[in-house]
Every structure is written in structure tokens, then in C-alpha cells.
Amino acid sequence: MPAAQILMPAPMADDVVAALEARFTLHRLWEQDDREGYLRSVAADIRGLAVSTLAGRIDAAWLDRFPALEIVASFGVGYDNVDASAAADRGIVVTNTPGVLDDEVADLAVGLLLATLRRIPQADRFVREGRWADGAFPLSPTLRGRRVGILGLGAIGKAIARRLDGFGVAIGYHGRSRQEGVAYPYHDTPVALAAASDVVVVMVPGGSGTRHLVDAEMLAALGPDGVLINVSRGSVVDETALVAALSDGTIGGAGLDVFENEPQVPDALLAMPNVVLLPHIGSASHATRAAMGRLVVDNLTAWFDDGRALTPVPETSPG
């Protein structure tokens, strides 16, 4: 039987490309001079897509270009780049890469929280710029005695909570529903969580259902000593409201790994001394990205070998 034909719209790691080429007929769309013409020539035979956020939005119109499409294997735990509901309507399975990046993202979230509170990047610049000789670096806020709210207590949210337990801070959470067997206090709304917290760590998926979940009202509830940490998706936070809250002292600071219009970051945020900014590196270690790539390959292999996906997203999971 001929190998299944897989389309990769945008480049992925060399080892992912090599593994897919060893098992499938792989079409590298990004290498084509006439991408539209190339798509028209191969679309009827494409049975799988291997995509990342670099591929752009995989929406219903994109899915409809491939009449034989069976599976979309997405690189990343978040999959708001793929219209999973549209895929489900068409009988197409969508997979993501959960689990393998939980610890890496949780580590980064805690590191970003500490860097924001203790002003670690600012202190580094203070030394590099030779200002230490002129006097001590200003005292910073502390994590001691803080109440940390986790917005989204999924697998990564729980991994963050486990790490923060070791710091002796109070932890609460908000999610779509109260979770059985979770000892942390549950708050009914994001605003209630913010009002009960000094720090809010955002760890919910992106998409229309969570767009601007963190809004001006929630930021006001967090208060002037409050700190917002976002390691999920930029769309979850109303960036205009956040800039205003940081500018006028509604909240005390923020640590951001994600933004609404990446890689563009508002000039106002770049100029703020009470903000730590990272270039969306939550899972960006060699080991974790390699594990994510292997799971993309493994999902496609399992599907075409055994007719099952290893990590289908809920919208396209059987039953």
C-alpha cells in the first residue's frame, strides 16, 4: 500500500521532518515557490497535516481543501490554531502534544514569577551597566506571604501548584468547574479569584471562549500590589486593559511570556520597569521540543498504522 501523504505547511524541527519522511510521503509546502498551485496539485491526496502555529490558522476553509483529510497533528498543547470543532464536523481527528511539556512550562512559570517579583532581569542590567558602584539595587517585593491564584488548574496548572506548594504560599484556583479531590480553595469567577489573590498565574487555553478572560475588572480586583503572570496564550489577556492597569498602578507588575499579536509587543510594555517580558519560551528547551515533535510523529504513525490517535483533543475524541 502506498505511504499516506502528509502536508507540512510550515517548517518543523529537522528530526520531525526526517521521521515523517521515513514513514510517509511528506509535502513541504513552505519550500514551494507557487504554494497555491502546489496545494491544488496535491490537495486531493493529502490524508494528514502536521502543523504548528507557524502554519497560521487551520480553519474550516483550509480543511475543506483536502477531501481525503483524516487527521491534523498539531505541535503544542494549545491548539487554538486549529478549528477543532470544524474538524469534528468533518470527521477529522485533531491531536496535540500534552503531557510532555507540562513540567517545562511549569518551571518557566515559577521562574517568571520569581523574576518579576524579585526584579531579577532589572538587577542583572543594573550590574551590567556598572551602576552597582554607585549604590545598592533597590529593594524588591517578595513572594513571602503571597496568595497565588491559578486561572486554569489543568495538568500544567497543577504542576505549577505543586511547585508553589514548596514555597509555602496560599494557593487558590478558578476553572470551568470545581475539581474533585483538589484541596485548594475554588473561586467561582476569575474576578473572585483575583480579589482573593496577590498573584494570578494564567494557564487556560486560548480560543474564542477565553478571549480577554483577564479584563479590566479582573485586574482591578487583583489590586495595586498584585502581579499577573501569563504563560498560556496572549489572547486570554486584554492587552490594552493590562497596559492601562500597569500604567496607572491598578496592579503592581506583570510577567508575560505570551502576547496578543506575537511577535509584536506594545511599546508601552517594552518601556515599563515593572514588567518582565519573554519571547514565548514556555516549552522552549531542546529536550521538551524534541519530545513534542516525537508525539506529532507518533500520533500520525499510530493513526495510519492502527486507526487510533494517541492524544486526540476533546472535540474530536471518540465518545
pLDDT at 245 (0 to 100)? 98
Same domain, yes or no: 122 and 248: yes
Decide: 186 and 178 in contact? Cβ < 8 Å. yes
pLDDT at 319 (0 to 100)? 61
- Cα gap 206→196, rounded to integer Å: 24
Decide: 197 and 147 in contact? Cβ < 8 Å. yes
pLDDT tens for each residue of 159-169: 999 999 999 99
pLDDT at 318 (0 to 100)? 77
pLDDT at 2 (0 to 100)? 78
Same domain, yes or no: 66 and 36: yes
Same domain, yes or no: 177 and 234: yes
List, by residue number, the catalytic residues. Answer: 233, 262, 280
Among 112, 264, 140, 82, residue whose Cα is nearest residue 203 = 112
Residues in the chain with pLDDT values less than 50: none
Give how many domains the chain has, as a whole number.
2
pLDDT at 23 (0 to 100)? 97
pLDDT at 58 (0 to 100)? 97
Model's pTM, two decimal places? 0.93
Same domain, yes or no: 178 and 269: yes
Same domain, yes or no: 88 and 106: no
Neighbours of 147 (CB within 10 A): 16
| CATH number of the domain that residue 54 is part of | 3.40.50.720
Q: Has residue 188 been placed in a domain?
A: yes
pLDDT tens for each residue of 255-312: 999 999 999 999 999 999 999 999 999 999 999 999 999 999 999 999 999 999 999 9
pLDDT at 177 (0 to 100)? 93
3-state secondary structure of 283: coil
Question: Which structural domain, as residue segments, surrounds residue 254?
Answer: 102-277
Same domain, yes or no: 114 and 165: yes
Among 84, 49, 31, residue whose Cα is nearest residue 207 = 84
Same domain, yes or no: 75 and 121: no
